[in-house]
Structure 1
Amino acid sequence: MFGKTAGETLVDLLVEWGVDHVYGMPGDSINSIIEALRKAQDKIKFIQVRHEETGALAAASYAKLTGKLGVCLAIAGPGAIHLLNGLYDAKLDHAPVLAITGQVESDLLGLDYFQEVQLERLFDDVAVYNQRIMSAEQLPAVVNQAIRVAYAKKGVSVLTIPDDIPKFEVKAEARKTSSIFVEPEISPSSTYLNQAKAILDKARSPVILAGKGAKHARESLLAFAEHMAAPIVLTLPGKGVVPDEHPYCLGGLGLIGTKPSYDAMKKADTLIMVGTSFPFTGFLPESAKTIQIDTDPAQIGKRYPIDVGIAGDAKTTLDWLVQHVQKQTDVSFLEELQQEREAWWTKMEKEEQDESLPIKPPHVIQALQKVAQDDAVLSVDVGNVTVWMARHFRMTHQPFIISSWLATLGCGLPGAIAGKIAYPKRQVFAICGDGGFAMTMADFVTAVKYDLPIIVIVLNNQKIAMIKFEQEVMGNLEYGTDLTNPNFAKFAEASGGIGYRVEKPEELMPAFEQAIRQTKPCIIDVVVDANVAPMPAHITWGQMAGYAKHMMKELIEEGKIEWPFQ
């Protein structure tokens, strides 16, 4: 460490922490850091992105997929500002990310210099750790602290480094600290475990709501579900916690969920929330006894009234409950919902097999299902495409990433880039709508540049289709949702990749089968029906009334009927 520049020391510390790549774009206020990365390129790879937002979203996606630190790098001013959207995605989805930004030189701070922005203030809300480096000697300890806090608090650390500091030598008086984070084991309290046992012993229609906090506890969760004869409902971030076709799985919950999940919540007398702080409480039971299990005590009871909270690891807690709670022998409640689930799947299969024109989005997801391997990485963008994937793709062991709490459009492609870097030997798919893909499509060339053979599926309906549906349900006429798109297949070819344009159902499977054999990035541009609405599993009276109002307005606007009050 000593005798090296601060820029070189920064890179050495990243390598010590196990960082093997950084997303970013070079520029004047970080050129000294870029030079240090160049010298260490045999240990750490610099992934040049075309937009810093993509870099931050990719760093967040990498962290979500692997649990490892995602790192992004940007210049002062505009580059740093561009990082914000991806960093907020990491913050809200609790992903450990380090953002390194340049800044004007130390003696120019406060002079309104070119590209000077008060970055500490800018990043104050998004960061769990936010520090400007003041000297070369300070840098090693602060870098270690920033990374340790990002891991400990599962959030974003930001380091702002004035342009002169990476050039200075780190002298012997620099403070020494360790490049290490120790993961704690959170054991549940016996008091609360016994309180939960008392509730579960009396449960007759229990339902489990599992989120991403249960992903490491699949076998324990299934054992508990079997012990309690309790169906499992999944949050969207929790999709894949158990296989979608497992007999105990009812699918998702909420506007993108399934009818059996909705009904299970209405009939439940006991709710067990595992690794989730589900926000859409209108879909949860109105009067059930509720137990919430989470490693973060701050999440327990945060959004929904509970009877017992257990701060502890999901696997440890569920294993204890299986050993101590009376086994549920009455399986009638479970079997009733399993029958509903079969009816729901029959309905979904009918939608998936519809081969009419224009191509229906569920039919595209069925094609993906046929070619995706059990360990394929699925990076799903935001919009109607989220609904189609949540309902129609039946996961087994595939990693599934999405911008969950921020729900930012454009996350699909950066997630796929990160997925291929994390798992180079696996299939990696980005499943996007045309609106979401267009937001970050410039970085398709990044996949080409770094030989990342991802497959981007674009559901192209020339609409911001989810917003169209929302407007109609409100009773409004559609406005501002039309899109003018390029031919995305030709864009892929112009970028150095491979493109497939699919306009007919019979072209769909050949395109998928060819794409998975390619060694270059591919785009499958599928022209789909814009009028297939992502209807909720349970339609409320307000939604029906709003849609009827919209239809009436549309007919009047088109002159097909006259307004009766003139």
Structure 2
Amino acid sequence: MTTTVADHVVQRLREWDVEQVFGYPGDGINGLVAAFGAAGDEPRFVQARHEEMAAFEAVGYAKFSGRVGVCAATSGPGAIHLLNGLYDAKLDHVPVVAIVGQTARSAMGGSYQQEVDLQALFKDVASEYLVEVNVPEQLPNALDRAIRTALAQRAPTAVIIPADVQELPYSPPEHEFKHVPSSPPSHPRAKVVPPDEELTRAADVLNAGEKVAILIGQGARNAVTEVREVAELTGAGVAKALLGKDVLPDDLPYVTGAIGLLGTRPSYELMRDCDTLLIVGSAFPYSQFLPPFGQARAVQIDLDARFLGLRYPTEVPLLGDAKSTLARLIPLLERKTERGWRQRVEKNVTEWADTVTRQAMLEADPINPMRIVHELSERLPDDAIVTADAGSTANWYARNLRIRGQVRGSLSGTLATMGPGVPYAIGAKFAFPDRPVIALVGDGAMQMNGLAELLTLARYRELWSDQRCVICVFHNGDLNQVTWELRAMGGAPKFEPSQSLPEVSYADFARGIGLGGIAVDDPARLGDAWTTALNADVPTVLDVRCDPEVPPIPPHATFEQLKSMTEAVLKGDPHAWHLVTQGLKTKMQELLPTRT
């Protein structure tokens, strides 16, 4: 039997230990689909409900597994649909390979059906590596290089294979002019460390500091032990960028939590008052939440030189991987005996934890959205994986979810796109079929694409040894984050035609397709509902009716933001009085005395 180009692609994916490809079929990849069938569906073709969801599932899989995620789509509209998920991978530095069909070569340039200039379409999103395969001999090099580049650069890449090329007999590259061979799949690793003199300079800066702050991002994930040791030696507090939320647990007394618009007061105070800043594996973009320029001396560690010194004036930029660099830096650090700064940080953390608990337990109509995440934190399995969608849900994930044990969590951090919460969860289940997964999703995102993707969850759940997968819907009938942005940034009242959502029961929908469904509108039942969902033997939708007027006010809200919200009320916001009441109650919790 003749081996086709498509057969070879599938075989090479197996050699790279790719276990599943998230995709949606179409005639532009008929050859590839047939090859999956001929190979006994190994790797598995996971059929999403939409190509964008396939890309998100590949991103979620890659984020949590650390391996390359692979997605596939047909030519024209299918390829176009992949873009948003691939941009999510690009901006969050995630290795994803897209395999895309194209019009047959004989029809190219003829304004043929579904003919799109895919080279131009993917030029930006797959800028690290983009190739069109036009003869069989281009493989396996093209596919191998796409995978190697995705892993090395932590970026999306794309391989375009015209429909007729997929069905050609495969012939390997020869040892001759203008043929390019490849090598067997491999996963080389290297320790990257800066020169000794640069490490000495960095240690001098950190040793001289009296009030040290550390900011960690996802690039510090392989250096948990080292970050903790540096924090102990320097007496530093540690703030976490959004994508680094799961790097250190929140039960460490010096971990101040998230930073930025979605951040905590202790993180804000840590950056406001420090005199020395160590940034590890983070490209946190909002410099206004870092120390005032000129106040702090800064050291930064990053594996990518393009991000060194990008956000803050950095005195000592260290090019290296976090674990190896910190391991070489630690012997040069002097343990600080004066612990006043550390004690102040820990006091701020304790007081904030008390404040956040009080805020979460405030009465609302009907349920306070902060309480949804608070009750989850009380019951969160130590090996859980948590995904979150964009919108106000991201606020509660960032501020209220307390990471502990081996919990992992992520969301669309830089693109901040709606829609990845449920597909990320599906990708996470394929990465770790034996771990519980929780998705925190707004009802806007559920109506955008989450409801449809529940069908994918239902279809593949039997493959997972642990079927626990809770999709928690923040059901408030409002595109809430934008509503608050209109109020806080523009002083505009809620515009009902753009912001209000049609009513639907998410629990009923889940039950209708064979999943579990629990509807909650009473705060007294919320904790038990979480317990039931987290112990269910089938994926379950937790449909929680919550109050859209509980404000996601940053603990460092500016006067102008508060002024704009007041103006929105005065201009006739439809829920003005309730909005003001909830806002005052929430903000007042920051002023109450803390238990000692």
Q: Structure 2 length normalisation: TM-score? A: 0.91
**Mean Cα displacement is larger for which, 490-499 or 353-362?**
353-362
Which residue, out of 167, 190, 193, partners 2:199? 193
* CA deviation vs aligned residue, 1:304-362 (integer Å, no higher than 9, x gap): 21111000121222222221122111110111121111111111111233355410011
Offset, 1:55 = 0.2
| Superposition map of 1:273-288 within 5 A | 273-286=279-292, 287-288=295-296
**Match for residue 589 of structure 2?**
none
**Mean Cα displacement is larger for which, 348-357 or 81-90?**
348-357
**Match for residue 520 of structure 2?**
502
- Name the SS of the counterpart of 1:137 in structure 2: helix
In structure 1, distance between residues paired with 2:79 and 2:573? 48
* CA deviation vs aligned residue, 1:271-320 (integer Å, no higher than 9, x gap): 00011111100011112101111111110011221111000121222222
In structure 2, distance between residues paired with 1:59 and 1:311? 29
In structure 1, distance between residues paired with 2:41 and 2:187? 25
In structure 2, distance between residues paired with 1:64 and 1:177? 27
Q: Please say if 1:239 is aligned against 2:248.
A: no
- Name the SS of the counterpart of 1:250 in structure 2: strand
Percent of aligned positions that are identical: 36
| Superposition map of 1:97-496 within 5 A | 97-127=96-126, 128-174=128-174, 175-178=180-183, 179-286=185-292, 287-354=295-362, 356-396=364-404, 397-441=406-450, 442-451=452-461, 453=467, 454-473=469-488, 474-479=490-495, 480-496=498-514
Sort the Cα spacing of 1:557 and 1:433 in 2 relative to 1 into closer, same or farther, 3 A.
closer
In structure 2, distance between residues paired with 1:206 and 1:516? 39
**Paired residues, what number?**
558
* Corresponding letter in the other structure for 2:446: F
In structure 1, distance between residues paired with 2:563 and 2:223? 43
* Corresponding letter in the other structure for 2:416: A
- Name the SS of the counterpart of 1:554 in structure 2: coil
* Corresponding letter in the other structure for 2:222: H
* CA deviation vs aligned residue, 1:180-226 (integer Å, no higher than 9, x gap): 34233211121211111221221101100111111111111000000
* Corresponding letter in the other structure for 2:203: K
**Mean Cα displacement is larger for which, 181-190 or 305-314?**
181-190
Aligned 8 A contact 2:569 2:576 in 1: no
- Name the SS of the counterpart of 1:450 in structure 2: helix
In structure 2, distance between residues paired with 1:502 and 1:367? 13
**Mean Cα displacement is larger for which, 175-184 or 192-201?**
175-184
Aligned 8 A contact 1:257 1:390 in 2: yes
- Name the SS of the counterpart of 1:272 in structure 2: strand
**Match for residue 92 of structure 1?**
91
- Name the SS of the counterpart of 1:379 in structure 2: strand
Aligned 8 A contact 2:254 2:349 in 1: no
Aligned 8 A contact 1:209 1:273 in 2: yes
In structure 1, distance between residues paired with 2:574 and 2:64? 50
In structure 1, distance between residues paired with 2:226 and 2:171? 51
- Name the SS of the counterpart of 2:572 in structure 1: helix
Aligned 8 A contact 1:3 1:171 in 2: no
Aligned 8 A contact 1:357 1:504 in 2: no
Offset, 1:83 = 0.3
In structure 2, distance between residues paired with 1:482 and 1:171? 57
Q: Please say if 1:535 is aligned against 2:553.
A: yes
Aligned 8 A contact 2:272 2:290 in 1: yes
**Match for residue 562 of structure 1?**
none
Gaps of at least 5 residues in structure 1 are 560-566
Offset, 1:520 = 2.4
**Match for residue 583 of structure 2?**
none
In structure 1, distance between residues paired with 2:350 and 2:207? 29
In structure 1, distance between residues paired with 2:536 and 2:187? 40
- Name the SS of the counterpart of 1:160 in structure 2: strand
* Corresponding letter in the other structure for 1:432: V
In structure 1, distance between residues paired with 2:155 and 2:576? 51
- Name the SS of the counterpart of 2:500 in structure 1: coil
Q: Structure 1 length normalisation: TM-score? A: 0.96
In structure 2, distance between residues paired with 1:364 and 1:161? 46
Offset, 1:172 = 5.0
- Name the SS of the counterpart of 2:244 in structure 1: coil
